[in-house]
């Protein structure tokens, strides 16, 4: 066996078949021996039926029930069951390109010091709303220097999505942290680099991700990213990436501006404008970026503005709540865990 691909899923009936079939096609194209380990988190739709049918048609597909329901439990079960020296974590809401696995294996050979490799995520949109959200998520203004979304040159990075790992990495540093319902891959990749392994981004390793066409879902997703990032930082007693602090700083400065402006309204009204200049500059950046993208990419300007604001303020507010829960109140993750999978 050359490669094992672990997929965590729950209620993904619209996507799971395309996901698994794309993996099988990539294995076939690479001409290697591979397996697809699918762990279903007790879906309430037809996901498990479809996985079961896929496993009956192709012995390379192995379906399992993930009783604990969350993604890190599924990943860890798959890692333990994997029979290959390379183990890839993949999302059920995505598909991989035909050359994905061959490029993964070639990149691992080209970088002997790499413990993990990954590539570029291309967004697939259902409608104009999803397209606008995707454009914001692919922008450096939206997500900072997240290379796997914004693109970039081949080389070393701090994290990737849908990482392919050498099995020895898990043997040396352990498995995914099951107390995390989000950010488990970021936390694991932080441990990986601390142990001396490298993470390599290669833009020719391409996958496609079906963007969720909902501002509410985008808000929930990034709120949780911000929330759980605090626990990851607390766990390692370090800020694992500088870009995570920017949305938190934005929220803090906004609250400060509102409160201090209320005070200045009575003390010195002429200074209020000075307080708000940084926020005006931020809004100008959002508006100008949205206008540029809406013109070039033919997407809705107002939805772009809303998407950028949602990305930043949801993450920042989630981070703030995480500080209150994990640092101030010293809550344990088990008190906040929710039943989520990829």
Contact 78, 4 (CB under 8 A): yes
Contact 151, 196 (CB under 8 A): no
201 and 254 housed in the same domain: no
Q: Say if 232 falls within a structural domain.
A: no
247 and 131 housed in the same domain: no
Written as one string, the DSSP assignment of 229-296 is: HHHHHHHHTS-S-GGGHHHHHHHHHHHHHHHHHHHHHHH-GGGHHHHHHHHHHHHHHHHHHHHHHHHH
134 and 52 housed in the same domain: yes
21 and 146 housed in the same domain: yes
167 and 284 housed in the same domain: no
Taking the model in full, what pTM does it have?
0.84
Domain that holds residue 68: 3-214
Q: Say if 227 falls within a structural domain.
A: no
210 and 261 housed in the same domain: no
- Write phi, then psi, for 22 (nearest 5 degrees): -65, -35
165 and 272 housed in the same domain: no
73 and 183 housed in the same domain: yes
204 and 246 housed in the same domain: no
The tokens describing 189, both together, are 């990749």
Contact 91, 7 (CB under 8 A): yes
Q: Say if 234 falls within a structural domain.
A: no
CA atoms within 13 A on the CB side of 212: 13
Q: Say if 226 falls within a structural domain.
A: no
pLDDT in tens, the chain (342 residues): 899 999 999 999 999 999 999 999 999 999 999 999 999 999 999 999 999 999 999 999 999 999 999 999 999 999 999 989 999 999 999 999 999 999 999 999 999 999 999 999 988 887 888 888 888 988 889 877 678 777 788 999 988 989 999 999 999 999 999 988 788 888 999 999 999 999 999 999 999 988 877 899 899 989 998 998 998 888 887 777 777 889 999 999 999 988 888 777 666 676 777 888 999 999 999 999 999 989 988 889 999 999 999 999 999 999 999 999 998 988 877 644 444 444
Q: Say if 104 falls within a structural domain.
A: yes
> What integer pLDDT is reported at residue 334 of this predicted model?
61
> What integer pLDDT is reported at residue 211 of this predicted model?
81
Q: Say if 263 falls within a structural domain.
A: yes
139 and 54 housed in the same domain: yes
138 and 209 housed in the same domain: yes
171 and 316 housed in the same domain: no
Q: Say if 229 falls within a structural domain.
A: no
Domain count, the chain: 2
Q: Say if 77 falls within a structural domain.
A: yes
The CATH number of whichever domain residue 203 belongs to comes to 3.90.550.10
Name, in order, each residue with C-beta under 8 angstroms of 79's C-beta and a sequence gap of 6 or more.
6, 87, 170, 175, 176
Tell me the CA distances in angstroms from 200 to 91, 92, 161, 164, 281, one per residue in order.
19, 23, 11, 10, 35
> What integer pLDDT is reported at residue 267 of this predicted model?
64
Distance CA 109, CA 166 (A): 11
């Amino acid at each position: 066996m050359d490669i094992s691909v672990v997929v965590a899923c729950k209620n993904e009936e619209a996507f799971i078949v395309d996901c698994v079939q794309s993996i099988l096609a990539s294995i076939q194209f690479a001409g290697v021996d591979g397996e697809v380990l699918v762990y279903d988190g007790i879906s309430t739709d037809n996901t498990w039926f479809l996985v079961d049918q896929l496993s009956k048609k192709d012995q390379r597909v192995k379906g399992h029930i993930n009783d604990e329901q969350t993604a890190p439990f599924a990943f860890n079960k798959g890692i333990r069951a994997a029979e290959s020296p390379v183990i890839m974590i993949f999302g059920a809401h995505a598909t991989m390109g035909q050359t994905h696995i061959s490029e993964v294996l070639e990149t691992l050979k080209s970088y002997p010091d790499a413990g993990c490799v990954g590539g570029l995520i291309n967004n697939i949109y259902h409608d104009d709303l999803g397209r606008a959200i995707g454009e914001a998520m692919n922008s450096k203004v939206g997500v900072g220097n997240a290379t796997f979304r914004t693109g970039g040159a081949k080389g070393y990075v701090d994290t990737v999505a849908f990482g392919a790992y050498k099995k020895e990495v898990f043997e040396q540093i352990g498995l995914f942290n099951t107390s995390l319902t989000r950010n488990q891959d970021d936390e694991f990749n932080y441990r990986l680099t601390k142990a001396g392994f490298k993470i390599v981004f290669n833009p020719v390793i391409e996958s496609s991700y079906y963007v969720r066409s909902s501002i509410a879902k985008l808000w929930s997703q990034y709120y949780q990213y911000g929330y759980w990032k605090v626990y990851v930082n607390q766990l390692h007693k370090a800020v694992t990436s500088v870009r995570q602090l920017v949305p938190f700083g934005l929220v803090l400065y906004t609250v400060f501006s509102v409160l201090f402006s209320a005070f200045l309204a009575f003390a010195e009204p002429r200074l209020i404008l000075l307080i708000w200049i940084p926020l005006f500059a931020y809004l100008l950046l959002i508006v100008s970026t949205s206008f540029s993208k809406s013109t070039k990419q033919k997407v809705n300007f107002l939805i772009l503005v809303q998407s950028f604001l949602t990305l930043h303020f949801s993450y920042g507010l989630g981070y703030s709540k995480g500080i209150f829960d994990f640092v101030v109140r010293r809550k344990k993750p088990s008190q906040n865990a929710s039943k989520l999978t990829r």
